[in-house]
């Protein structure tokens, strides 16, 4: 409980590798489609995870789980159908300028503060009994990684088209942010495994 023994499990590594391959494909999607479309479509995977948990892990899908799956479909469909058009991004510098606007910096500061409060205050006290503290950490950190993932995808896309974006320090700054966010999410994602495997699958697709 709360340890790292899963690192010695071959099946865990198989799952992790396949998930990485899937996330690489998801990462590529951010380079070619608006984030407001890619993110809600990824949430539809929760339905698959719930079905797998019911069939493979023998976890009973209650009425609230079924209602949650329906809401995921309705919410994702609504967002996709009414998503605004995304403007063309010409360089990573442009994404950096958007990320350093006062409004987003304020949001990032609030998110980081909330994450630290959850990690150092609530998880030690309620981590083994309240799943929401882990959901909070993974969701908040994930909200910061979306812009960085989008920036890296655009950088690679422009670089492959002949406009090298790897020479800009902003590209590597976004890369560092993604690495930190992913490691944080993986750590707290695996802490929730002993509590509930269904919630574990749910958190995977929140990330």
| Model confidence at 117: pLDDT above 90 | yes
- The residue among 95, 106, 111, 73 whose CA lies nearest residue 171 is 95
pLDDT the model gives residue 114: 93
| Model confidence at 99: pLDDT above 70 | yes
SS3 content of the chain, % helix, strand, coil (to 5): 80, 0, 20
Q: Which residue has the higher pLDDT, 8 or 200?
A: 8
| Averaged pLDDT score across all residues of the chain | 79
Q: Under a CB-based contact definition with an 8 Å cutoff, are residues 146 and 35 in contact? A: yes
Q: Record the pTM.
A: 0.65
The SS3 call for residue 152 is: helix
């Amino acid at each position: 409980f709360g340890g790292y023994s899963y690192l010695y499990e071959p099946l865990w590594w198989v799952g992790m590798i396949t998930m990485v391959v899937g996330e690489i494909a998801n990462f590529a999607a951010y380079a070619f489609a608006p984030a407001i479309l890619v993110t809600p479509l990824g949430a539809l995977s929760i339905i698959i995870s719930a079905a797998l948990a019911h069939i493979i892990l023998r976890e009973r899908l209650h009425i609230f789980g079924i209602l949650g799956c329906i809401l995921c479909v309705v919410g994702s469909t609504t967002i996709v159908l009414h998503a605004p058009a995304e403007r063309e991004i010409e360089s990573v510098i442009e994404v950096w300028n958007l990320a350093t606007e006062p409004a987003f910096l304020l949001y990032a500061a609030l998110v980081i503060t909330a994450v630290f409060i959850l990690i150092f205050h609530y998880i030690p006290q309620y981590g083994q009994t309240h799943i929401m503290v882990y959901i909070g950490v993974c969701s908040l950190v994930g909200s910061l990684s979306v812009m960085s993932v989008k920036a890296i995808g655009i950088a690679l896309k422009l670089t492959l088209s002949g406009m090298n974006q790897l020479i800009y320090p902003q590209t590597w700054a976004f890369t560092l942010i993604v690495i930190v966010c992913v490691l944080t999410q993986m750590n707290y994602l695996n802490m929730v495994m002993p509590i509930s495997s269904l919630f574990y699958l749910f958190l995977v697709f929140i990330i």
